[in-house]
Amino acid sequence: MSRFEGVDTVVLFDEMAYEDVLSVRWSPLSSVLSVAECAHFAQRNLKVLQVCSAAESQIAVDAFDEKNPYASDLHRVEVKLNMALEVLGQLMAAQDPRPAAQAVRFNALGGVWHNPQGVPATGTQGLLQIYLQECLAQPLTFIGTVLGATEDGRVRAQFTPPGEPVAELIGKLAFRRHRRQVAGMRQHHRD
């Protein structure tokens, strides 16, 4: 990890990574996936990341804006919509229980997480599902190969390249998270 303005930059495979406590599931593969199956996961991941990006974007409303006099109204609608999506996500999670939330770090190159179901063998291929938000029904699904695991179940895997559009959105997701952490640290120091 490197330091930036008092906040550790989360790094994995020498690139900025996203780190959070999220529902994560590892499923070993019994056979190699077809090109069509890989393309399906890439398309689904792209959609999940696009929805996540749209859900994270917020309208900054400090005061009346001459260029957008409806900004505060839009912000109120957005807050209400986010609340409705949160409730919908909780209802969906109740219908289809997700794995327990745990610390996970990932980027387009790979991931590190704790696997409570046991330690997969090095070289094992599988699918890593990461549920980014409760309001999103679909997880990100990465095809990965286990590079190693500790006895306590901490697993490190390298992902099959997810494609440039997905990799770019994952990079943006990690950067936005880091930027929020830096802003939070600045606010903490001001208080």
Residue 64 lies in a domain: no
DSSP string, 27-69: EE-SSPPPHHHHHHHHHHHHHHHHHHHHHH-----SS--SS-T
pLDDT at 189: 57
Residue 182 lies in a domain: yes
Cα-only R_g, the chain: 19
Residue 89 lies in a domain: no
Q: Strand, helix or coil at 23?
A: strand
pLDDT at 63: 43
CATH number at residue 167: 2.40.10
- How many domains, the chain? 1
pLDDT per residue over 52-92, tens digit each?
887 766 544 444 455 677 777 776 777 676 666 666 666 66
pLDDT at 54: 77
Name the phi and psi angles at 64, rounded to 5: -60, 130
Residue 92 lies in a domain: no
User: What average pLDDT does the structure give for the chain?
Assistant: 82
Residue 112 lies in a domain: yes
pLDDT per residue over 160-172, tens digit each?
999 999 999 999 9
pLDDT at 62: 45
Residue 152 lies in a domain: yes
Residue 27 lies in a domain: yes
Residue 87 lies in a domain: no
Q: Give residue 160's domain range.
A: 2-58+100-190
pLDDT per residue over 106-138, tens digit each?
999 999 999 887 889 999 999 999 999 877 788
